[in-house]
A and B are shown apart, each in its own frame.
Chain A
Amino acid sequence: MDDFEQELRQAFARQPAPLGLKRRIMQRRRGAVQRRSSPFFVWWGMAASYVSLSLCILAALAIYGGYELRQAEEQRKGEAACRQVMTALRITNHALDHMNKQLAAHNRASQE
């Protein structure tokens, strides 16, 4: 590891968490636990479960039909294609940036 990387390591030292972060996490956690155990939430949870079950059955039929799989696959392929485009443009940008530096250097050399 060279000097720059050593300096990076030093600069990358973990920052202390903000004051009160743990307190806020524990507060939110208590709130979440209360919601999970309140009668209303339990009832809502049960109702949601029945609805979920029905939806699951419908979704299972849709999946069986292949629709969901095809959509997800298409989304995945589309995102992969987008990533390829971005990589191609990044390389193009780098090449043109190098060209720009060369032109600027040439310009400075000519002026000297």
Chain B
Amino acid sequence: MARDWQPDFEQLVDEHQSMVFSLALRMTGDRGLAEEIAQDVFLELDRHLGKIESAAHACFWLRRVAMSRSADALRRRKVRQMDLWVEIKEHHGLQLEPRTSPLGGRLEGLLATLPEPQRAALVLRYQEDMTPEEIAASLDAPVATVKSNLQRGLKLLRAKAAIHLKEYVREKEYARGV
């Protein structure tokens, strides 16, 4: 039976390059590495284009491969978890984009201190707005494990963010000369 949906590689790149890049960036904390991963993911998509059945399948496939390659890159590169007390000052190559949210500018730094499974669950939950069941399918993990990682990761992130928020407020006050 002929497929109704025909994959257009360039269109898929246009549509999903930000998603793939963001996933890799949040997992690795390294823009250069994230771009490498994004390129590799799309080239792998090109090799498997014939097996992609729909637009939704393409999105699922890209997320899954982006997360898998990011995890592999992490294991190879061993992006070290930063000490909580020094990460404010040492960005370790991270580019913290200024954002309206005080948390936003520190997010990559805080994320990098989380264990990889928790980081992956949080990124898919809050960046991609996925349910635990969808995350489990993407990561090929049991749903209970995903829920546990979400719970633990959120708890850790809250603790770290609370400390950083104080630092953020202090820095702002210092800059204003308070």
Contact = CB atoms under 8 A, between A and B. Distances in A.
Tell me if chains A and B make direct contact, with any CB pair below 8 A. Answer: yes
B112 interface: no
B31 to A, nearest CB: 7
A70 interface: no
Contacts of A5: 126, 154
B173 interface: no
Interface string A1-20: 00011011111111111100
B120 to A, nearest CB: 13
Main secondary structure of the interface of A (DSSP, over half): helix
20 contacts: A7-B103, A8-B107, A8-B122, A9-B126, A9-B129, A10-B99, A10-B103, A11-B101, A11-B103, A11-B107, A11-B126, A14-B18, A14-B22, A15-B25, A16-B18, A16-B21, A17-B17, A18-B35, A24-B39, A25-B39
Given A7-B103, A10-B104, A32 B46 contact: yes
A61 interface: no
B139 interface: no
A26 B22 contact: no
A14 B127 contact: yes
Interface of A: 4-5, 7-18, 21-22, 24-26, 28-29, 32, 90
A28 B43 contact: yes
Given A22-B14, A25-B43, 17 more contacts: A5-B126, A7-B101, A7-B103, A8-B157, A10-B101, A11-B99, A12-B123, A14-B19, A15-B18, A17-B20, A18-B21, A21-B17, A21-B35, A22-B10, A25-B17, A26-B10, A29-B43
Main secondary structure of the interface of B (DSSP, over half): helix
Interface residues of B, number: 36
A32 B43 contact: yes
B146 interface: no
A24 B32 CA distance: 13
Given A25-B42, A25-B43, A28-B39, A18 B127 contact: no
A28 B13 CA distance: 13
Contacts of B43: 25, 28-29, 32
Given A8-B103, A8-B157, A21-B35, A15 B97 contact: yes
A22 B13 contact: yes
Contacts of B17: 17, 21-22, 25
B151 to A, nearest CB: 12
B38 interface: yes
Given A29-B43, A32-B43, A18 B31 contact: yes
A80 B126 CA distance: 29
Nearest to A24: B39
B169 to A, nearest CB: 15
